[in-house]
Amino acid sequence: MNFSDKLAQQIKLKNNPSVLGLDPKLEYIPPSIKEKYFNENVDSLKAAANCIIEFNKRLIDALYEVIPAVKPQLAYYEMYGTEGIRAFSETIRYAKKKGLLVIADGKRNDIGTTAQAYAKAYLGRTDINGIEEESFGADALTVNAYLGIDGIKPFIEECEKNDKGLFILVKTSNPSSGQLQDLILQDGRTIYEAMADLVSQWGSTTTGQCEYSSIGAVIGATYPKQLEELRNRMPESWILVPGYGAQGGTAADVAAAFDKNGLGAVVNASRSLMCAYNLEAWKNKFTHEDFAEAARAEAERMRDDINIAVSSK
């Protein structure tokens, strides 16, 4: 089954198109976990990585029955050097063991041979003296296509070979995303529309039974008008929608990314799930130590919030 169909299956199974963004910061982690690892006699980067692993595992334990996928953001692991990458790798392994799909959020990009190395790192296997080893083993990766098709093709090849997926940046959720992406071309398209057209074209060989392609797009919830236009412009592309919750996107905003069957998009929430204990709605019910239970409650609320908005489109 290709990535697109695995994603559709997981979303239907959980009746939930929302994804847990695992962007851990030490300040999100409750005192009991920190005390446990920082009191061990190890260097502080290693202790920080151990805290992150336990924090992520407890979130995964609390949410794996409710959500289809997790999206660890590589920057928050690279921040802790080699030890951070160990935490990233361990997080992926654990999430997969619990049946979750893993979208590695790395926004990788490079020229052909180097893109191939990234593709093998995240979506394939690395040849070591004739034996192939899996390095990270994610199910999908976010990428940036500023370099054009020969920086993307090596990723698509691994997707086809190993039933993996890609999400290519089209219109990002940040305030200045328009500085380049909204510039208008001579043919009247914006740069993000030109990118959307490339993504549609590149995805045409990996369409699944569910009628979506394994080569999807990233479009921010913070630009609901563009999200709606792009949903129509790229009808076969899964859309990964960041920006719900802490960044300001609402369920009504993200509803535009879905088709009439409730498919076609996954909505990411990071901080609002990881720090649900801190939200107005939950802070009187849960303490910082109850972060995982709070995340579960918020994930169920988010699921219902989005499902209601999608079904009343």
Residues annotated as part of the active site: 107
First-to-last alpha carbon distance for the chain, in angstroms, is 30
Give the residue with the Cβ less far from a second copy, 18 or 173: 173
- Ramachandran angles phi, psi of 302, nearest 5°: -60, -45
Nearby residues of 303 by Cβ (< 8 Å), 6 or more positions away: 14, 15, 16, 18, 66, 67
Give the residue with the Cβ less far from a second copy, 12 or 271: 271
Stretch that binds a second copy, among 64-72, 190-198, 250-258, 279-287 (CB under 8 A): 190-198
Residue 34 in the binding site for a second copy (CB under 8 A): yes
Stretch that binds a second copy, among 149-157, 233-241, 251-259, 290-298 (CB under 8 A): 149-157
Question: Which amino acid appears at position 10 of this protein?
Answer: Q
Q: Which residues pair with 163 in a beta bridge?
A: none
Question: CB of 4 within 8 A of CB of 88?
Answer: no
Question: CB of 136 within 8 A of CB of 89?
Answer: yes
Query: What single-letter DSSP state applies at residue 132?
Result: E
Residue 235 in the binding site for a second copy (CB under 8 A): no
Give the residue with the Cβ less far from a second copy, 2 or 109: 109
Stretch that binds a second copy, among 7-15, 122-130, 206-214, 252-260 (CB under 8 A): 122-130
Per-residue burial over 115-132, b if 16 or more Cβ lie within 10 Å, else e, is bbebbbbbbbbeeeeeee
Which one among 66, 198, 252, 309 touches a second copy, defined by CB under 8 A?
198
Which ranges of 98-149 does DSSP label H, i.e. alpha helix?
112-123
Binding site for a second copy (CB under 8 A): 23, 26, 34, 38, 44-45, 47-48, 73, 75-76, 78-82, 84-86, 89, 107-112, 114-115, 117-118, 120-122, 126-129, 131, 133, 135-136, 144-151, 169, 172-181, 183-186, 191, 194-195, 198, 242
